[in-house]
Structure 1
Amino acid sequence: MKEEIKEIFINLGAEVYGVANIDLFIDVPKGFHPTDIYPGCKSVIVFAKKIPMGLAYVSPRIIYQHFNSISPVELDRIAYLASNEIEKIHNGIAVPIPSDGPYDYWDEKNMEGRGIISMKHAAVLAGIGTLGKSTLLLNSQYGNMLNIGAVLTNLNLPSDTPSESICIKKCTLCIDNCPVNAINEYSVNQKLCRKCAYTSNDRGFDVVNCNRCRTICPMAFGKKQRL
């Protein structure tokens, strides 16, 4: 069954797929546990879409911002269609989770938002990758050029094997190159990051002024050599 479900996601366009059984979700903040959303959840299916490598070679202001913002739409499409297929083929319940917004949690003072569940931590539990010092997900094949989606289900699926970290132990490039010192190796100050990275131009379009922590990483494209 697990392999059949994997095929559903891959056929819909996911490049990466993994499963985390609900037993792995320990020490999750109240309100953000998968069972807080869907009490019948027994497994979390996590998948990801690759961001084109070319977006790392251009200014993030327009092109990167535009196409990176399309990714959540594509992830939500996959989650929606896959959930219907899981319910049709395997007679289970599947709850697609928004890959980005909307979400409720917002700390105005610290400009800190939290998704319905932590996609990055779910991806780590599902064996898709590990977190780098920038807190971006690092996958051995695709590096940090991934955006993540998830589906909750009442099907009791076995967890995938955890990934080995590809983050270079003594490397501090993402920390040293952050223009506002928002990265401290264990977390990112969202207020500093948001004020630096996100704004709008005179025409009113959303733009991104900084994605340096993603592009400066020697493992941005995984273990493959940079072009």
Structure 2
Amino acid sequence: MKQLIKKIKELAYQLGADVCGIGSINRFENAPAGFSPLDLFDQCQSVIALGLALPKGLYEVPPRLLYGHFNRKICSILDAIELKLARELEERFNCLAVPVPCDAPNEYWDAENMTAKGLISMRHTAVLCGLGSIGKSSLLINPEYGNRLTIGAVLTDLELESDDLQPDLCIAECSRCLDSCPVQAIADKRVNQKLCRLNTYGKTARGFDTVNCNKCRTVCPVRFGKTG
């Protein structure tokens, strides 16, 4: 099995992923009803989580246009990697593989509270596949890439051994993300999406999407990883 896992991860990196982790379906037994990998693919035995990191430089400039543009762009790049990986897995290892979009499309939308949910929670998928921990900001923190990762996943009927879970990477005494939020949208490792969305997203006069706030990401002392 270790050789198979090695080949899968090498393939993921060759296709362009920055990180790759694996979690057995047993780790997902507490997923909310309707948002388990098994709700998408009932033959799923393992979940392969993939991540791509934004450049550090995007954290050093105003987020309105540059950060927002590339934060959206990275989703399509990662989805393409997932699709290629799923096809390669099926061809090489005689299995079934289902790529799951890292963001849209998805079904769930609570209009009153402006709350969306993905097909599965990619942050929690990353944690269960050994790629990091959830910080006070509710963002995933990875030891090498900090909070810069976008996460996607491939579900497969291959039975694979889980990677070790990461320790809590959030600094216990730190509260920078909570203190810096202009609308106090963060509490208990959760974000009030309505408060956050109304403060964060907008449009230019020409109709281009903007991101007007990413302070919870940029003020984090481990935003670039443990060795940042």
TM-score, length-normalised on structure 2?
A: 0.97
* Separation in structure 1 between the aligned mates of residue 10 and residue 43 of structure 2, nearest angstrom: 24
1:33 partnered with 2:41? no
Gaps of 5+ in 2: none
1:193 to 2:219 alignment: no
Given residue 125 of structure 1, which amino acid in structure 2 is its aligned partner?
Answer: L
- Cα deviation for residue 185 of structure 1 reads 3.1
For 1:24, the equivalent position in structure 2 comes to 27
2:150 to 129, 147, 152: 147
- Percent of pairs identical after alignment? 49
- Structure 1 runs of 4+ with >4 Å offset: none
Displacement of 1:166: 1.7
Distance in 1 between residues matched to 2:94 and 2:129, nearest whole Å: 22
Matched, 1:57 2:73: no
String of CA shifts for 1:52-106, please: whole Å, max 9, x gaps.
Answer: 0000000000010111111101110100000000000000000000110010000
Is residue 62 of structure 2 the alignment partner of residue 66 of structure 1?
Answer: no
When structure 1 is superposed on structure 2, of 184-193 and 55-64 the one drifting more is 184-193
Work out the CA distance in 1 between the residues paired with 2:32 and 2:21.
22
Maintained 8 Å contact 1:175/1:185: no
Contact 2:48/2:129 (CA < 8 Å) preserved in 1?
yes
Match of 2:127 in 1: 124
Question: SS of the residue aligned with 2:65?
Answer: helix
**Distance in 2, Cα, partners of 1:222 & 1:177:** 20
Name the Cα RMSD after superposition: 0.7
Map of 1:137 onto structure 2: 140
Cα distance in structure 2, aligned partners of 1:75 and 1:6: 15
Structure-1 residue corresponding to 2:176: 173
Distance 1:173 1:108 in 2: 30
Q: Does 1:81 align with 2:84?
A: yes
Q: Which amino acid aligns with 1:186?
A: K
Aligned residue pair count? 225
Q: Distance in 1 between matches of 2:76 and 2:6?
A: 25
Residue 205 in structure 1 maps to residue 208 in structure 2: yes
Determine the structure 1 residue equivalent to 2:95.
92
Contact 2:134 2:189 in 1 (8 A): no
